[in-house]
Amino acid sequence: MNAAERAAWLRDELHRHNRLYYVDNAPEISDTEYDRLLRELSDLETAHPELLTPDSPTQTVGVAPVAAFGEVRHRVPMLSLDNAFDEAELQAFDQRVRRFLAQDEPVRYVVELKLDGVSLSLTYEDGLLTQAATRGDGTTGEMVTANARTVRGVPLRLAGAAPGLIEIRGEVLMTRADFARLNDEKLARGETPFVNPRNAASGGLRQLDSRLTRERRLRFFGYTFGAIEGPAVPEDQGARLAWLREMGVPVAAHAEECPDIEAVIQAIARVQAQRPDLPFDIDGVVIKVADGALRERLGDTARGPRWAIAYKFPAEQAMTRMHAITWQVGRTGLVVPVAELDPIYVGGVTISRATLHNPSELRRKDVRVGDTVIVQRAGDVIPEVVGPVLERRPEGTEPVPVPTECPVCGTPLLYGEGDILLRCSNKRACPAQLLAGIIHFVSRGAMDIAGLGEKQIQFFLDKGWISDIPSLYELGRHREAMVNEPGLGQQSVDNILAAIEESKTRPLSRVIIGLGIRFVGEKTSIDLATAFGNLDALAVADEARLQAVPDIGERTAAEIVTWFADDENQTLLERLKAHVNPTLADLEPLGDQFAGQTVVFTGKLETMTREEAEAYVRRHGGTPAGSVSKKTNLVVYGPGAGSKLAKAEQLGVPLMTEAEFCEQYRPLESP
């Protein structure tokens, strides 16, 4: 193979791999191998400049900056779309379409993702990319050809038999992964991060230096055509998208054909559910009449086509003014900066507070009182402040100081976890921690005590009727005083007391959640309840035993052990257990031969699993434990037993082999 043949082969091969990667989502080679091929081609072109072609994959690296972009008049205007915000507006759109077509039968639609980026029009002449333009005002845009060449997924040459002239339109965006990575890099260099992927993409496409555009790793997805000279465009939207793919243009997944508007509404719900998991941001879906002939008849208005509508999802980001920062003390003592905002509608709800996570995030984002900030609420995630809008920063703002003392109890604050988290160490007496802990205990996800909200809890604390979680179950003692309290009254007092009483029937996992151990949420609590069966067994489990529970890691195990090792927590637990002490229903007692005894299994068990052995002990009144102490009543050991066996021998704890244990108790015979 001579140099010219090799260069041609490399070009074709690289084009093919680009398609496999960006269009088919099915790469065949690694990035390193791709880079190696690209370098070989680049070296060949340097040695033989005459071999360089305009569609060479080496021509995507960007070129020297231009002074300004030229203007491009679009051959076919780049229109905008009408918006719909709810089901009724979609129904109205469908009716408009059918009325215009004078048609009773349902109209077929295609539902596509509404990619949240910037639109771009690519002109190909005889299959070669000759021009790229932004939308601009719809009639005239900016010529960004050099930049577009660096955008991933923009083919420099169309595959297959291309028309003499074709304008391909689509969206340029930044994936969420690239956005996160680029922002990490920016932060490491001490630069201000991008606010969102859309801004990063739109700014990236309009860089005067196309090498900078390339660094943003932008992606292109096609969805429609502008001017075409040559073959007729396929009739159906589905076929059009397929044609784009055949030409080597990436098309976003999830386009779905629907027989009527009802099916469209269902498809939208599916997209909405997938929205958080998509690799890029979308701000809605676009609904298009599927049949090209019907589209022709429908035509356009001045604003946009009659055959399409954008269904907008509630924005996940919005701008508002931050008028203060408060420091909130949580139940585990974490002190978190919270932005107090002018109320704003975002992600489908109105919010007036958003988290800034921790002092280090606050410093990094450098949001200041008086700033206009971008807030975000995606899905059910807690609203957060993304960052300030620096162009709108008023004069004379100052960075927000981080407190050195607990804003509620005045205890000096400590930094933990790599100096990121700020904590009030006054675990027991800090009123804020106490209040937050009780609120958590009574909350829906935990003990679900109806009628007890933050206000009542604070009031009862102030009155001295309650002092901590267990005291909730002694609240009845103050019934007299409560009933006489203006604003409470007999009925509401009795309702509250009944709700507290009723909470005693909550399953074990809910009680575990209620304890408020760090990292122990619903899933972990259920795992713990299943593995240990009651609070006593959980309380004595060591880290190794906890980590043996699937999905419980080092961090969580350590938090659990620390919580139960704390003297005051032990007292609290004992008092709580006097009122609430559920066990797993499927671990109903079968006997009492281990009543009051603690049994440790160590080493490898051969005839039963660790879970079966421990469940057996529990169901016969005992407590399986993970570590040996003076209080251990029996150690059952198998092959490989080490330090626990040695400790038991040293302490004189009774020992049994697994065989002896089975011989004496016959655990495998009980139901």
Q: Provide the binding-site residues for ligand IVH, judged by CB under 6 A.
A: 79-81, 112-115, 119, 171, 223-224, 286, 304-305, 310
Instruction: Identify whether the C-beta of residue 599 lies closer than 8 Å to the C-beta of residue 636.
Output: yes
Map residue 322 onto helix, strand or coil: strand
Minimum distance between the CB of residue 92 and ligand IVH, rounded to whole angstroms? 18
Q: Which two tokens stand for residue 615?
A: 């469940």
State the Cα–Cα distance between residues 489 and 485, nearest whole angstrom. Answer: 7
Report the chain's terminal Cα–Cα distance, integer Å.
77
Instruction: Identify whether the C-beta of residue 625 lies closer than 8 Å to the C-beta of residue 537.
Output: yes
State the Cα–Cα distance between residues 460 and 12, nearest whole angstrom. Answer: 76
List 341's β-bridge partners, or say none: 322
State the Cα–Cα distance between residues 97 and 531, nearest whole angstrom. Answer: 59
Using CA atoms, how far residue 281 sits from 172, 203, 249, in Å, is 12, 16, 20
Q: Which helix (H) or strand (E) holds 87?
A: helix 87-101
- Residue closer to ligand IVH by CB (options 81, 322) is 81
Q: Which two tokens stand for residue 346?
A: 């975002």
- Residue closer to ligand IVH by CB (options 313, 594) is 313
Contacts of 100 (CB under 8 A, 6+ apart): 297, 298, 306
Amino acid at the residue 396: G
State the Cα–Cα distance between residues 405 and 178, nearest whole angstrom. Answer: 39
- Residue closer to ligand IVH by CB (options 108, 114) is 114
Compute how many other C-beta atoms are within 10 angstroms of the C-beta atom of residue 364: 15
Amino acid at the residue 32: T
DSSP string, 139-206: SEEEB-HHHHTTSBT--SB-SSS--SEEEEEEEEE--HHHHHHHHHHHHHTTPPPPS-HHHHHHHHHT
Contacts of 643 (CB under 8 A, 6+ apart): none
- Residue closer to ligand IVH by CB (options 113, 341) is 113
- Residue closer to ligand IVH by CB (options 269, 585) is 269
Instruction: Identify whether the C-beta of residue 386 lies closer than 8 Å to the C-beta of residue 179.
Output: no
Given the residues 114, 288, 365, 644, select the one marked as catalytic: 114
Q: Which residue is nearest to ligand IVH (CB)?
A: 119
Question: Which residue, among 440, 453, 477, 620, has the nearest Cα to 537 in the 3D structure?
Answer: 620
- DSSP 8-state class, residue 552: -
Is residue 577 part of the annotated active site? The answer reads no
Instruction: Identify whether the C-beta of residue 232 lies closer than 8 Å to the C-beta of residue 202.
Output: no
Instruction: Identify whether the C-beta of residue 245 lies closer than 8 Å to the C-beta of residue 96.
Output: no
- Point out the residues that are catalytic: 114
